[in-house]
Amino acid sequence: MKRTITHFTLLVTLISFSPQNIQCQTDYNQQWPGFRGPWGCGFIENVTTPTTWSVESTKNIKWKTSILGLGHSSPVIWGDYLFITTASNGAGSESLKVGLYGNIDEANDSVVHEFKVYCLDKHTGKIIWERLAQKGIPRSKRHTKASQANCTVATDGKYLVVHFGSEGLYCYDFKGNLIWKKDMGLMNPGWNTTPGIEWGYSSSPVIFKNKIILQCDIPKNPFITVLDLATGNEIWRTSRVDEAQTYSTPAIYSKNGKSQVIVNGYMHIGGYDFETGKEIWKLSNGGDIPIPTPVIANDLIYLNSAHGKFSPIFAIRPNATGDITLAPDSTKNNYIAWCVKRGGAYMQTPLIYRGYLYNLQVNGQLTCFDAMTGEVKFKENLNEAFTASGIAADGKLYFSSEEGNIYVVMAGPFFQLLSKNALKDICMATPAVSGNILFFRTQHYVIAVE
């Protein structure tokens, strides 16, 4: 499939636990500060979330708020606030083509767009404020399945960092005041084998220790960089000149006072020193359009991708150094605990929850692995097209199809479908959880389910 990502972003925030031993619970439970929640783990505990609901009858629907324009960014929640972005041509006629297809078509966005940030009341859905970040004809194109607002925002509870790719990087406070903005240049990734094709930038900002991490694997001079959160000033920049164009968001692994930035890629999957940007380890033979975000769990680093010759899932030990690329006939080495060479996901970030890794592919094939060994526990096909990544809460897994059907699956080594709930709208964005409430971003709405 030659499609662009909707998606999908990882946010890491300064909290009191280390990401290699994720505990998405206790008093941090109310926050969902970026794509897939605290540390990008994709779940929270000690909550009671719904199994069934109905948009038509409003059963278990807390609120539903219309958002003008098109955006695949996920909802982000901090305290009483929910943040979302969108890009609107003013006519409400933004094109979107969903489903299983493999062409490389670009959408026609040759009219003026408004790139906006919204702050909603988490409890009522009321719009508290909206800000116009940029207005103009988009500087770069997008795939017919993408949007001009793919990147999920990042927050640390004080600052809100918003990336609109070629339209700029912005930092706001919680009252909507603009703190600073920065032109990051032309952010126009496409497909390496077809120069000139643009599918839309989607790598989201990551916040860690008062700094912003950005992965910018663009066609010309790709790089990874760290900026100062308060000012936007660049601290370091490392070239990724030999890397394919990438849509993934980086992750952070931190232990014993040492932190590294983990990135997905094709020839340069790897880890970089958070303080200096120096490469620590690298791994090649990923999918040639890297999209899923790295996940930290069980003191391992999980990466997957799927396009072209390779579609691996890797479980990597964080003490890796140097080139750890596997031999052609191997599935493990000193630094790779286990590997599945074919079967990784093209779009979705894997969900690792209560000891199991759930890998959902674009065609609805759901595979459950033992997260420590790679042993397959079950395979089931949900028989729909999927782009959004799965999340978990209350012992349940939530998978959102492009047509807006939410599959609720019991967590564990045996497949049990608990329910299927229709949102009655296209759903490309990964949902969020805060407290006992699920938040879904569809093509036209944000919907709270409790």
Dihedral, 27, 395, 401, 52 alpha carbons, nearest 10: -100
What is the pLDDT confidence band of residue 193, given thresholds at 50, 70 and 90?
Answer: confident
| pLDDT value at residue 23 | 35
One-letter amino acid of 440: F
Residue 284 within any structural domain of the chain: yes
Residue 8 within any structural domain of the chain: no
Chain center to CA of 397? 17
| pLDDT value at residue 29 | 56
Q: What is the mean pLDDT of residues 216-241?
A: 97
Q: What is the mean pLDDT of residues 277-301?
A: 95
Considering only residues 85 and 256, tell me which one the structure prediction assigns the higher pLDDT: 85
Distance CA 365, CA 389 (A): 13
Where do the H-state alpha helices sit in 222-341?
A: none
Residue 94 within any structural domain of the chain: yes
Beta strands 178-182 and 169-173, pairing class:
antiparallel
pLDDT > 80? residue 30: no
pLDDT > 90? residue 447: yes
| pLDDT value at residue 100 | 94
Residue 341 within any structural domain of the chain: yes
Residue 14 within any structural domain of the chain: no
What is the DSSP secondary structure assignment for residue 106, as one 8-state letter? B
Q: How many residues does the chain have?
A: 450
Q: What is the mean pLDDT of residues 230-244?
A: 95
Residue 327 within any structural domain of the chain: yes
pLDDT tens digit string along 292-351?
Answer: 999 999 999 999 999 989 999 999 999 999 999 999 899 999 999 999 999 999 999 999
Expressed as residue numbers, the domain containing 206 is 19-449
Residue 64 within any structural domain of the chain: yes
pLDDT > 80? residue 12: no
Mean pLDDT over each residue of the chain, to the nearest integer: 92
Distance CA 207, CA 180 (A): 16
Q: What is the mean pLDDT of residues 69-83?
A: 97
Provide the CB-side half-sphere exposure for 286 (13 A, CA). Answer: 32
- State how many domains the chain has: 1
| pLDDT value at residue 88 | 96
Residue 181 within any structural domain of the chain: yes
pLDDT tens digit string along 164-184?
Answer: 999 999 999 999 999 999 999
CATH of the domain at 325: 2.130.10.10
Query: Which of 189, 160, 209 lies closest to 249, judged by CA?
Result: 189
pLDDT > 50? residue 214: yes
pLDDT tens digit string along 120-147?
Answer: 999 999 999 999 999 999 999 999 999 9
